[in-house]
């Protein structure tokens, strides 16, 4: 019996070899990271070429289904298309004749999702139905294993294939994962010998979620495709001028800007700084910033509009008020930073009325924890199977990028009871079920933190809120008094470039104390309106005496802004959302005093009354 190649193989290829030799299957579906290259003998081989020349090298007859020719291509020196018949099914039939007459045929089908797509069988073309029937017949009849043949279907996601292939017990599915840190380290060492070992290790650690091809595009030295390493180093020195550690920075920058133009390198190095003197990052941090920028570009390009990266500008110190919530989030951030997976929560549920600052606080938490965050965007498609395929692709990338946070805003719309129904053929139900499975996968603990935000947690399915998916439930409420509102306004003005002196508290509290029921968003609108008023008549305010608070802003400006501002009139709705947050809270210590002593039954009764009043 002709075996598969005996050289050292990646784990996925080794599994294919083991299951083939054990007689488990002769037809395999290889899925996942199949659009990457494989590092072999100091080279990066395209995936299909690696499969032919390394994994299946022992097979004397190797063929590939060439979709663009609707024919069979023999793999070898010439790679010519065999002129066997006029149609795809005729060509497959001629190949089957060869398979029944001889041994040791390997057939590879790239882009298998285009050959036997995920669709109702009645909607398939004659060729697609015929190929589907042939694949089932080969796997179940014993032809492949009896005659020492092997067939490999390649696709990015199992959801691309006709579902009957996934349920065939004689067809084995093998996933090709994204490269782990060890594989990335070997590739960086191979592609970037000009880097120091310390730099290579950093690049390997911080390129999680990228394919080897993509990492190679960041670090590989290819003078013909751009500036050489020395030219990049010289350019970096010119850009940095007399910045601290310029020499060390230039060496690090040169290592991660391969293939970039002068303009692109200048943008990556200076970033948001306008002059080299503004570059205050540690050299290593600066290099990682460039790596993360390029990594983000690559992932967004490969994912299209499926995900969006969060880019928080402020940490928790920029959040006004919410002291207990900030302490709770700081503890979680510290746990994530230590890498202790056992104590890390699987997910967070942020609940509270609209305008309370949930999104801002969560973004600040991500920055504080040093945790990148991504938001699922529109991965739904009108094409059958594409929605599930898009979701699988995104989830694999998210898992590979760990540690990371998956943020889902307005979670009641994504996971609301009865969402989708049967109007979309069950796609919504399958998508929700898949995300739930992902959230509860214990392998994600400490690697992927799911953060779901909503102001209507009562619309969520009960099982989405259970421990093991969303372990910590953090309630947000409007400020209770003038002192709490003062902290919020201070933080808003500080972010707006108008920090207030410490002695402004009395004037602020006096002006803000009557504003019961005002949200953080309302307070921000008032603060910015007051600041705008102050800037318009700064000269008059300075000349007219009055109660100067700072930066030209007076207590009178704040009072005028409060008088001019009309808050949204949704009192009952806001009360309902606050009570729902009370009901969901996992800790009584996170509740404000006005809610802390309410019994659960009393909360439920108040919620029921408000829903009757609102006709919900």
pLDDT in tens, 306-320: 778 887 888 888 888
Assess contact for 55 and 16: CB atoms under 8 A.
Answer: yes
pLDDT at res. 426: 67
| Location of structure tokens 């995900």 | 307
What mean pLDDT is predicted for residues 238-243?
Answer: 70
CB 206 within 8 A of CB 295: yes
Report the share of the chain in percent with pLDDT over 90: 20
Determine the Cα–Cα distance for residues 558 and 508; give it in Å rounded to an integer. Answer: 8
Which of 46-60, 144-158, 168-182, 243-257 is predicted with the least confidence, judged by mean pLDDT? Answer: 243-257
What's the token pair of residue 555?
Answer: 């207590």
Q: What is the pLDDT of residue 194?
A: 76
State residue 341's pLDDT score: 74
Helix axes 283-303, 197-205, angle to 10 degrees: 40
The whole-number average pLDDT for the span 460-474 is 86
Query: How far is C-alpha 44 from the geometric centre of its chain's CA atoms?
Result: 26
Helix, coil or strand: residue 16: helix
Query: What tokens does 262 get?
Result: 């002068």
Q: Who wins on pLDDT, 550 or 84?
A: 84
Q: Give the lowest-confidence range in 180-184, 284-288, 406-410.
A: 284-288
- The answer to which of 38-52, 108-122, 220-234 has the lowest mean pLDDT is 220-234
Asked whether this chain's domains 11-176 and 308-475 adopt the same fold, the reply is: yes
Q: What is the mean pLDDT of residues 581-587?
A: 87
Are 462 and 584 a contacting pair, CB within 8 Å? Answer: no
Least confident segment among 95-99, 151-155, 345-349, 501-505: 501-505
Would the pLDDT of 272 be above 50? no
294 to 3, 120, 257, 309: CA distances (angstroms): 42, 41, 9, 13
For range 250-258, the mean pLDDT: 71
What local confidence, expressed as pLDDT, does residue 46 receive?
92
Is the distance from CB of 364 to CB of 314 less than 8 angstroms? yes
CA distance 471 to 452: 11
- The beta-strand segments (E) located in 329-368 are 347-351
Token pair recorded at residue 593: 């005093």
**Closest C-alpha to 216, from 205, 199, 204, 224:** 204
Side-chain-side CA neighbours of 507 within 13 Å: the count stands at 18
Instruction: Give the 3-state DSSP-derived string for 304-321, with helices as H, strands as E and coil as C.
Output: CCCEEECCCCCCHHHCCC
Mean pLDDT of 85-109: 86
At residue 492, the pLDDT reads: 84
Query: Residues 416, 150: contact at Cβ < 8 Å?
Result: no
Taking the CA atoms of residue 242, residue 247, residue 252 and residue 256 in that order, the dihedral angle to the nearest 10 degrees is 70
Count Cβ atoms below 10 Å from residue 409 Cβ, excluding itself: 16
The set of residues, in sequence order, having a beta carbon less than 8 Å from that of 94 and lying 6+ positions away, is 72, 82, 84, 85
Q: To the nearest whole number, what is the mean pLDDT of the chain? A: 81
Alpha carbon distance 29, 161 (integer Å): 9
Question: Which pLDDT belongs to residue 64?
Answer: 84
pLDDT at 427: 67
Calculate mean pLDDT across residues 36-40.
Answer: 91
For residue 173, the Cα-to-chain-centroid distance in whole angstroms is 25
Helix pair 126-141, 88-101: axis angle to 10 deg: 20
Give the range with max mean pLDDT: 124-138, 425-439, 480-494. 124-138
Average pLDDT over residues 417-426: 53
Q: What is the mean pLDDT of residues 520-537?
A: 84
The percentage of the chain sitting over the pLDDT mark of 70, rounded to a whole number, equals: 81
pLDDT digits (tens, 9 = 90+) for 324-372: 888 888 888 888 777 777 788 899 999 999 888 898 999 999 888 888 8
Q: How many CA atoms lie within 13 A of 392 on its CB side?
A: 17
pTM: 0.71
Does 422 or 354 have the greater pLDDT score? 354
pLDDT at 16: 95
What is the distance between the alpha carbons of residues 537 and 552, in angstroms, rounded to a whole number? 9
pLDDT of residue 129: 92
Give tens-digit pLDDT for 131-140: 999 999 999 9
More confident residue, 546 or 445: 445
From the candidate CATH numbers 1.10.10.10, 3.90.1170.50, 3.40.50.620, 3.40.50.300, the one assigned to the domain spanning 308-475: 3.40.50.300
Closest among 50, 84, 53 to 66, alpha carbons compared: 84
Name the residue ranges covered by the structural domains of the chain. 11-176, 181-302, 308-475, 480-616
- Whether 274 shows a pLDDT value over 50: the answer reads no
pLDDT at 223: 55
Tokens representing residue 386 in the block: 């594409």
| 504 vs 405, higher pLDDT | 405
pLDDT-based confidence at residue 273 (cuts at 50, 70, 90): very low
The arithmetic mean of pLDDT across residues 549-555, rounded, is: 66
What is the per-residue pLDDT across 370-386, written as a single tens digit (0 to 9) for each? 888 888 776 555 555 56
The CATH architecture annotation of domain 11-176 reads 3-Layer(aba) Sandwich (3.40)
Q: Provide φ and ψ at 37, rounded to 5°.
A: -115, 165
Q: What number is the average pLDDT over the span 494-508?
A: 74
Under 8 Å between Cβ of 287 and 256:
yes
What pLDDT score does 376 carry? 77
């Amino acid at each position: 019996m002709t075996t598969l190649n005996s050289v050292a193989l990646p784990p996925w290829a080794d599994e294919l070899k083991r299951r083939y030799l054990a007689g488990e299957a002769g037809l395999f579906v290889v899925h996942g990271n199949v659009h990457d290259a494989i590092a072999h003998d100091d080279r990066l081989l395209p995936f299909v070429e690696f499969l032919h020349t390394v994994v299946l090298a022992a097979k004397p007859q190797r063929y590939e289904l060439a979709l663009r020719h609707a024919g069979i291509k023999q793999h070898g020196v010439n790679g010519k298309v065999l002129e066997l018949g006029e149609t795809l099914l005729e060509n497959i039939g001629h190949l089957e004749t060869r398979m029944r007459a001889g041994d040791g045929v390997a057939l590879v089908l790239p882009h298998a999702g285009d050959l036997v797509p995920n669709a109702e069988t009645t909607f398939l073309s004659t060729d697609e139905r015929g190929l589907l029937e042939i694949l089932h017949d080969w796997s179940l009849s014993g032809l492949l294993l009896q005659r020492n043949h092997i067939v490999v279907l390649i696709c990015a996601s199992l959801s691309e294939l006709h579902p009957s292939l996934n349920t065939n017990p004689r067809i084995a599915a093998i996933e090709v994962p994204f490269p782990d840190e060890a594989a990335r380290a070997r590739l960086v060492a191979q592609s970037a010998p000009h880097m120091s070992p310390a730099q290579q290790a950093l690049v390997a650690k911080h390129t999680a979620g990228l394919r080897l091809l993509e990492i190679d595009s960041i670090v590989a030295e290819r003078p013909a495709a751009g500036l050489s390493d020395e030219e990049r180093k010289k350019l970096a020195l010119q850009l940095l001028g007399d910045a601290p550690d310029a020499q060390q920075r230039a060496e690090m920058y040169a290592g991660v800007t391969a293939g970039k133009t002068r303009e692109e390198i200048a943008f990556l190095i200076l970033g948001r700084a306008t002059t080299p003197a503004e570059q205050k990052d540690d050299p290593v941090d600066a290099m990682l910033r460039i790596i993360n920028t390029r990594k983000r570009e690559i992932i967004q390009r490969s994912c299209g509009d499926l995900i969006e990266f969060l880019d928080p500008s402020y940490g928790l110190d920029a959040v006004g008020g919410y002291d207990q919530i900030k302490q709770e989030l700081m503890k979680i951030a510290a746990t994530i930073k230590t890498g202790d997976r056992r104590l890390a929560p699987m997910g967070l549920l942020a609940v509270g009325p609209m305008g309370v600052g949930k999104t801002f606080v969560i973004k600040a938490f991500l920055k504080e924890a040093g945790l990148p965050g991504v938001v699922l965007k529109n991965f739904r498609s009108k094409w059958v199977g594409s929605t599930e395929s898009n979701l699988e692709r995104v989830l694999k990338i998210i898992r590979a990028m760990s540690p990371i946070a998956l943020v889902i805003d307005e979670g009641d719309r994504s996971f609301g009871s009865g969402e989708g129904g049967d109007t979309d053929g069950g796609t919504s139900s399958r998508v929700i079920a898949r995300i739930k499975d992902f959230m509860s996968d214990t392998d994600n603990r400490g690697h992927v933190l799911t953060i779901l935000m909503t102001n209507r947690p009562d619309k969520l399915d009960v099982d989405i809120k259970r421990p093991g998916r969303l372990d910590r439930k953090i309630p947000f409420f409007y400020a209770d008094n003038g002192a709490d509102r003062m902290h919020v306004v201070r933080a808003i003005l500080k972010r707006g470039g108008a920090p207030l002196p410490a002695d402004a508290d009395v004037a602020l509290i006096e002006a803000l104390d009557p504003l019961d029921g005002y949200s953080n968003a309302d307070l921000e609108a008032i603060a910015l309106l007051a600041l705008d008023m102050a800037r318009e008549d700064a000269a008059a305010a300075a000349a007219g005496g009055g109660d100067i608070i700072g930066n030209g802003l007076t207590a009178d400006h704040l009072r005028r802004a409060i008088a001019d501002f009309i808050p949204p009139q949704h009192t009952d709705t806001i009360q309902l959302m606050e009570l729902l947050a009370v009901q969901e809270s996992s800790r009584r210590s996170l509740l404000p005093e006005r809610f802390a002593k309410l019994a659960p039954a009393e909360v439920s009764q108040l919620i029921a009354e408000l829903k009757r009043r609102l006709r919900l």
